[in-house]
Amino acid sequence: MTDRALCVVRAGALTTVQDLGRPGHAHLGVPRSGALDRPAAALVNRLVGNPPDAAVLETTLNGCAVRPRSALTAAVGGAPCRVTVDGRPVAWGAPVHVPAGALLDVGPAVAGVRGYLAVSGGIAVEPVLGSRSTDLLSGLGPAPLTDGAVLPLGTPAGGHACVDVAPQPAPPAELVLRVTPGPRDDWFTPGALRTFTTRAYRVSAASNRIGLRTEGPALERARDGELPSEGMVLGAVQVPPDGRPVVFLADHPTTGGYPVIAVVRTADLSAAAQAAPGTPVRFIAVRRR
């Protein structure tokens, strides 16, 4: 029987297993999790012939290196990077054949933050609450990759896509986030609301899968005191005591007590996943639907 597994040779700064996440468990205190750049993860799955819910590897900044125990098809997308098989350059953003025992190296991102590696059959670690995703906040799912780890692979579902290179959006030079004001925008002064939607912020190096933190002008409150903890949603823009907005991403807490000044449109969050520290950020108010 073929030994379908990946051996991790170089785990990288932070490489995790991700799929579509585990929505529907917020009432249990479990975040959605899943790939931060969902379009990029979906694309590499399509390139290798996987179904949309197959698990991939999400890398952070400096990539990873793996060695398959049996031949497979792989594709790398998301943050652009150099990809090699046994030291030989191969295509980024396209299906690539990787022989058994060959070293597949996903290099450091030349732009953006997070890369996605899909292999035919998908990463077949044991699901938890219906998902194979690593959740850094709750600790559910497989641990982040470490050197020497072995990941089981599933059975390929079909042939890979017949393309030379699949187009992908470039990481943002400026991150523009459309926001719907509220539910706690009344906790801030009119001047703070103007500042929020007219002044530029920058992505903080303290950002992670839980939230995109910003650097820039502090937002002044109109009310003192604290809120009782209330439910938090993906894309919520929470304002902690330092006054700098934090955009909640896939591993965000399901409750929080700091006021939420606005909520980012879901369609804009994939770009947030690729915004490197120092990237300018603008919040644009749009009408409630």
Question: For residue 1, what pLDDT is reported?
Answer: 42
CB-based burial label for 108 (10 Å; 0-12, 13-18, 19+):
middle
Q: Which residue has the higher pLDDT, 225 or 122?
A: 122
Q: Measured at the alpha carbon of residue 84, what is the angle toward residues 114 and 124, in degrees to the nearest 5?
A: 60
- Give the pLDDT score at 158: 75
Most distant CA pair in the chain, distance: 67
Which letter does DSSP use for residue 129 in this model?
A: T
Confidence label for 97 from pLDDT (cuts 50, 70 and 90): very high
| 131-175 confidence digits (pLDDT tens) | 999 999 999 999 999 999 999 999 998 777 666 667 788 899 999
Q: Where are the alpha helices (DSSP H) in the chain?
A: 38-48, 190-198, 269-273
Mean of the pLDDT values across residues 236-249? 97
Tell me, letter by letter, the H, E, C secondary structure of 220-265.
Answer: CECCCCCCCCEECCCCEEECCCCCCCEEECCCCCCEECCCEEEEEC
Of 20 and 289, the one with more pLDDT:
20
pLDDT at 262 over 90: yes
Write the DSSP symbol of residue 187: G
% of the chain with per-residue pLDDT over 70: 97
Query: Per-residue pLDDT tens for 99-143?
Result: 999 999 999 999 999 999 999 999 999 999 999 999 999 999 999
Q: Considering Cα of 7, then 68, then 42, then 272, what sign does the dihedral take?
A: positive
pLDDT at 287: 76
Which domains are present in the chain? 5-152 (no CATH), 175-285 (2.40.100.10)
Q: What is the mean pLDDT of residues 189-213?
A: 97
